[in-house]
Amino acid sequence: MELNTLLAHIDDVKVETGKDLTHLSTMRLKATGDLITVSSVDSLKKVVKKLQKAQIEYTVLGLGANHLLSETSSIPYIKLSLDYDKHYLDNVRDQYCLPASVSLNLLTAHAIKFGLKGWEVFTGIPATIGGAAVMNAGTNLGEIGDLISSVEVMTKDGEIKKIKMSADSFGYRTNNFLKKGDIIIKVHMLHHGLSQSVSKTIKEYLEIRNKSQPLDKPTCGCIFQNVDRGVGKDTCLAGKIIDIIGLKGFSNGKIRVSNIHANFMENVGGATYSDVIAMIELVQHEVKLQTGLSLTTEVKYAQNT
């Protein structure tokens, strides 16, 4: 059954089949697919129950960062656009309950205005709060998982459950609590007090990122995880490894290893999923050949999700 027919008559749902998804990822890869935009939790419940009954899998698409979209997808994407009271961030709160579709940029602006300690860790990350929770997003300043007290999740059966975070809930750029088909709908987040220094820290870190990362280019953020060499040994920075073996600035068709930061790959015009995968495999091969080290991807794509 076609999606339009299956999901017909569900309020707050927009179904677009065969949609051009190029502008729905930060890397701007050429992609088409079926997109289901949902703007209420009640409607999301109806959607996932319908998809589950029809045995249709799905992928949740946030801002399309840290995610490579294939040229075509056999399963639909779900994009959340949940209702949100914009006055919610007019004041400081001890704990924040945020819809998953709220962007980190809004939260960073709130942190700058009021000086929320801890919130500097997600400075400059192009993601929604839900997407950031899924991947335990972070920077050199820390990880967002340290701020999250609990999440509300909708299962593939349409049930809503609240999951309290523990010391084992997050790993490096991953989570350990979501099951296949689970969708984060709300995030409960804390801060570590107030300080006037937070605004300065965020602004200084943004300046550093602007100088050291190709933020004005279509990328998906860091491609590879840093290499943990074990207890008592230094962590090898993926970008530094790629630079050392001479691949910084290397181009292969429409994809280029950034000459600003070698752990970023830039779409120089009209690139596809296949182009990026080919470059990833080339870099992994050369790093292994020249250093003996294995690079694991941080970015999510079909082969590793």
> For the whole model, what pTM was predicted?
0.90
Q: Which residue is associated with the tokens 């059954």?
A: 1
CA 221 to chain CA centroid, Å, is 9
> Would you say 17 and 34 are in contact if contact means Cβ atoms under 8 Å apart?
yes
Structure-block tokens of residue 281: 């495999």
Please report, in tens digits, the pLDDT of each residue of the chain (305 residues total).
Answer: 799 999 999 999 999 999 999 999 999 999 999 999 999 999 999 999 999 999 999 999 988 888 899 999 989 999 999 988 989 999 999 999 999 999 999 999 999 999 999 999 999 999 999 999 999 999 989 999 999 999 999 999 999 999 999 999 999 889 999 999 999 999 999 999 999 999 999 999 999 999 999 989 999 989 998 887 654 555 678 999 999 999 999 998 899 999 999 999 999 999 999 999 999 999 999 999 999 999 999 888 864 44
Go through 4-24 and write b for each residue having 16 or more CB atoms within 10 A of its CB, e for each that does not. eeebeebebbebbeebebbeb
